[in-house]
């Protein structure tokens, strides 16, 4: 159970860490100053959450094999196959409509996930989730408003948002898949049942998309939905490129402190 918990904590941490890194790529490049600051703050929120999950993961790892890596070691010295994030969050930023669409699809799932985890039998998970939930409620409010603003905006913004939805939708199925690792923790009352989040997530997304005059894609084959995706360490080429940049300095100077 300890190894399953360790793997699950990495999933929670890596989603936040990878998406924070993606948002960090926008710093100084946002479409307007206020939004540049807002997206940076969202990234910082996610980074803070990632640190909490990684710290707990390191403690659980230490209990399992007496090694136990630090936050930095887990963030900077794992390979792409050792990362457990959803495929959705590693997708490139593209234009700002792509970034907002990716953010909203994740935020809407994230807020539901954290609400469930706040009732976990694992008191540490429940505490981290409750703290993060306060931040993520703002995240989903912000990203949904941008989806509506851009979707129901000009012909150009609408077309770009619909194209972003159509391109990213295939990655959403993975959010609701449940594998053996998660099933054991769900049965123990520790993890959230992702499958149970599908209906409320879809209802919320459909409501926002209706206001944004965007079409919900027909359900095609979804990458990672059948237990072979980012949660199992099978990623797109985008993650390895992102990690090469994110991890370059710590790997070059592994003993550095600042």
Q: What residues contact 43, with CB distance under 8 A and at least 6 apart?
A: 19, 20, 21, 22, 23, 24, 26, 27
Angle at 162 between CA 42 and CA 141, to 5 degrees: 30
pLDDT of residue 59: 95
pLDDT of residue 107: 98
pLDDT of residue 225: 59
The rounded distance, in Å, linking the Cα atoms of 76 and 257 is: 14
pLDDT of residue 33: 75
Q: What per-residue string of b and e applies to 129-143 under the rule 16 or more CB within 10 Å gives b?
A: beebbebbeebbebb
pLDDT of residue 221: 60
Q: Write down the residue that tokens 């669409």 correspond to.
A: 101
pLDDT of residue 44: 96
Q: Are 162 and 151 in contact (CB under 8 A)?
A: yes
Per-residue pLDDT of the chain (258 residues; tens, 9 = 90+): 788 999 999 999 999 999 999 999 878 777 777 787 888 899 999 999 999 999 999 999 998 876 789 999 999 999 999 999 999 999 999 999 999 999 999 999 999 999 999 999 999 999 999 999 999 999 999 999 999 999 999 999 999 999 999 999 999 999 999 999 999 999 999 999 999 999 999 999 999 999 999 999 987 666 665 667 999 999 999 999 999 999 998 899 887 776
Structural domains of the chain, ranges and CATH numbers in brackets: 2-252 (1.20.1260.10)
Mapping DSSP to helix (H, G, I), strand (E, B) and coil, where does residue 154 land? coil
The rounded distance, in Å, linking the Cα atoms of 142 and 132 is: 16
CB atoms within 10 A of CB 146: 21
Radius of gyration of the chain (CA): 18
* Entry pTM: 0.94
- In tens, the pLDDT along 113-161 reads 999 999 999 999 999 999 999 999 999 999 999 999 999 999 999 999 9
């Amino acid at each position: 159970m300890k190894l399953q918990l360790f793997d699950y904590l990495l999933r929670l941490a890596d989603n936040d860490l990878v998406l924070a890194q993606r948002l960090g790529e926008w710093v100084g490049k946002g479409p307007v100053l206020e939004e540049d600051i807002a997206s940076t703050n969202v990234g910082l929120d996610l980074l803070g959450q990632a640190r909490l999950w990684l710290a707990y993961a390191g403690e659980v790892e230490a209990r399992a094999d007496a090694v136990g890596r630090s936050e930095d070691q887990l963030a900077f010295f794992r390979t792409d196959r050792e990362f457990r994030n959803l495929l959705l969050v590693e997708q490139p930023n593209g234009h700002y409509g792509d970034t907002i669409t990716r953010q909203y699809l994740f935020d809407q799932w994230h807020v539901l996930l954290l609400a469930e985890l706040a009732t976990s039998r694992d008191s540490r998970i429940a505490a981290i989730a409750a703290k993060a939930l306060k931040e993520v409620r703002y995240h989903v409010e912000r990203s949904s408003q941008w989806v509506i603003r851009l979707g129901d905006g000009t012909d150009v913004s609408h077309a770009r948002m619909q194209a972003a939805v159509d391109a990213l939708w295939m990655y959403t199925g993975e959010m609701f898949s449940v594998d053996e690792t998660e099933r054991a923790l769900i049965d123990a009352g520790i993890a959230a049942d992702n499958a149970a989040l599908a209906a409320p997530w879809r209802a919320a997304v459909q409501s926002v998309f209706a206001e944004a005059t965007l079409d919900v894609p027909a359900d095609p084959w979804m990458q990672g939905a059948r237990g072979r995706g980012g949660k199992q360490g099978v990623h797109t080429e985008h993650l390895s490129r992102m990690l090469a940049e994110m991890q370059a300095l710590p790997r070059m100077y592994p003993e550095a402190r600042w």
